[in-house]
């Protein structure tokens, strides 16, 4: 008898933990369903092609138009630009820290990188607004410095810590024997590092880059402060608006149920779609790096 009640008790506990475990799945489903359900009406009402490929956004005009191609392209260009600047710097820094730096330097710079990672994005936006935007205006002789370029640089700085950290972990996980073998064959340490260690860690480094992509495409608060926020088609020195900032800059008007607010839901859905793609890619690389 006692045995039986004990079994039931264990079953209940098991069920309880199962539910806790499934909450995560439930939340993802919830967010997905919610975004899809609320995002579809806008796309339907505006028309899929007009929405995705429309070049003009004028949400409060007498004859409003809701084309988000400028936002999509800006997000893609901005992220690409951030990668072009951020990835090489992050990658070489990670290699240096992993294979060549003295342990004191490594510890110190590691702490500095963690600090950079922990700085709120608003602080990056603030510093960008005070230093970078006027700087760009002066260096390039522009009428105004708030531009896609400024956003790219801020994003590059913001993704740097995650690229360094994840690459570093991947590089450190390369088995020592690989490197010893290469050194014994007469390769110098630098050659060993770039011809043996880096290829061995390539999945991890790819994961770092994809993580950076996710960070960059999802960032809102920092870029809104430096990008000018006008819904133009992207160009390096133009004021631009990202998918994220398109949602946030008109978000306070989003509760009213108008076509404008429906369109905002739809932008959020498009952004979410991009994020899901990136997550799938990230997962793929992480899995390969674990198996590799």
Partner 1 sequence: MDKPLSKRRRAYIALMRALMTLSFLITAALAVFMVAYVLAKGLPSITWELLSTKPSYLEDRIGILPDILNTIYIVIATLAVVLPLGVGAAIYLTEYARNKRVVAMIEYAAETLSGIPSIIYGFVGMLFFCTYFGLGTSIMAGALTLVIMNLPTVMRTTQESLKTVPQSYREGAFGLGAGRWRVIRTVVLPGCVDGIITGCILSVGRILGESAALLYTAGFAHVLHGFFEGLGSAGATLTVAMYVYAKEDGEFQVAFAIASILMLLTVLVNLSATLVAKYYKKRRNI
Partner 2 sequence: MKKTAAFLCALLMAVSLLGGCSGNGEEQTPPADEGGEQQVEQLSGTVSTDGSTSMKTVIGALGEAFENANDGVSLSYNPTGSGSGITAVAEGRCDIGLSSRSLKQEEIDQGLTETVLAYDGIAIIVNPENTVTDLSLETIAKIYTGEITNWSEVGGPDSEIVLIGREAGSGTRDGFESITGTEDACLYRQELTSTGDVIAAVASNPNAIGYASLASVDETVVVLSVEGVVPSEETVKDGSYAVQRPFVLVTRTGEQLSAVAEAFFNYATSGEANDIISAAGVVPAN
CB of residue 70 vs partner 1: minimum separation in angstroms?
18
Kindly identify the residues of this chain, within the stretch 84-103, that bind partner 1 according to CB under 8 A. Answer: 88-93, 95-97, 100-101
With CB under 8 A as the contact rule, the residue among 42, 46, 82, 121 that binds partner 1 is: 121
CB of residue 37 vs partner 2: minimum separation in angstroms?
14
Kindly identify the residues of this chain, within the stretch 237-256, that bind partner 1 according to CB under 8 A. Answer: 244, 247-248, 251-252, 254-255
CB of residue 250 vs partner 2: minimum separation in angstroms?
6
Decide if residue 214 touches partner 1 (CB under 8 A). yes
Decide if residue 40 touches partner 1 (CB under 8 A). no
Decide if residue 53 touches partner 1 (CB under 8 A). no
Q: Which residues of this chain interact with partner 2, rule CB under 8 A? A: 18-19, 22-23, 25-27, 29-30, 58-62, 129-130, 133-134, 137, 143-146, 224-225, 228-231, 239, 241, 249-250, 252-253, 255-256, 260
Decide if residue 236 touches partner 1 (CB under 8 A). no
Decide if residue 27 touches partner 1 (CB under 8 A). yes
Cα angle at 123 between 120 and 129, to 5 degrees?
Answer: 145
Q: Is 241 left (phi over 0), alpha (psi -120 to 50) or beta?
A: beta
**Taking a C-beta distance cutoff of 8 angstroms, is the pair 180, 218 a contact?**
no
Residue 5 contact partner, candidates partner 1, partner 2, none, CB within 5 to 8 A by sort of partner: none
Taking the C-alpha atoms of residue 272 and residue 31, their distance in angstroms, rounded to an integer, is 10
CB of residue 270 vs partner 2: minimum separation in angstroms?
19
Residue 231 contact partner, candidates partner 1, partner 2, none, CB within 5 to 8 A by sort of partner: partner 2
With CB under 8 A as the contact rule, the residue among 1, 4, 5, 21 that binds partner 1 is: 21
Q: Which is nearer to partner 2, 118 or 143 (CB)?
A: 143
Residue 173 contact partner, candidates partner 2, partner 1, none, CB within 5 to 8 A by sort of partner: none
Residue linked to tokens 């039986």 = 4
Residue 168 contact partner, candidates partner 2, partner 1, none, CB within 5 to 8 A by sort of partner: none
Q: Which is nearer to partner 2, 113 or 136 (CB)?
A: 136
């Amino acid at each position: 008898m006692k045995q039986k009640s004990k079994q039931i008790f264990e079953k209940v506990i098991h069920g309880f933990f199962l539910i806790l475990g499934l909450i995560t799945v439930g939340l993802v489903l919830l967010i997905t369903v919610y975004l899809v359900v609320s995002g579809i009406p806008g796309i339907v009402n505006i028309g899929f092609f007009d929405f995705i490929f429309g070049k003009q956004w004028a949400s409060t005009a007498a004859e409003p138009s809701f084309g988000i191609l400028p936002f999509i392209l800006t997000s893609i260009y901005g992220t690409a630009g951030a990668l072009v600047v951020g990835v090489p710097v992050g990658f070489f820094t990670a290699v240096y820290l992993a294979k060549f730096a003295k342990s004191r330097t490594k510890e110190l710079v590691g702490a500095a990188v963690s600090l950079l990672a922990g700085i709120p994005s608003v602080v990056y936006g603030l510093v960008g607004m005070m230093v970078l935007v006027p700087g760009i205006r002066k260096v390039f002789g522009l009428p105004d410095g708030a531009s896609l370029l400024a956003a790219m640089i801020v994003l590059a700085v913001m993704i740097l810590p995650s690229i360094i950290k994840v690459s570093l972990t991947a590089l450190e996980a390369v088995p020592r024997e690989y490197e010893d073998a290469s050194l014994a064959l007469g390769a110098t340490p630098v050659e060993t590092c770039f011809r043996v260690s880096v290829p061995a860690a390539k999945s991890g480094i790819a994961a770092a880059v994809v993580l950076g992509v996710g960070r960059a495409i999802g960032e809102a608060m920092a870029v809104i402060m430096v990008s000018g926020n006008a819904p133009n088609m992207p160009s390096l020195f133009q004021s631009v608006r990202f998918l994220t900032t398109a949602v946030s800059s008109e978000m306070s008007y989003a509760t009213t149920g108008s076509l404008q607010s429906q369109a905002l839901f739809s932008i959020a859905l498009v952004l979410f779609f991009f994020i899901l793609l990136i997550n799938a890619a990230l997962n793929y690389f992480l899995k390969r790096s674990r198996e590799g």
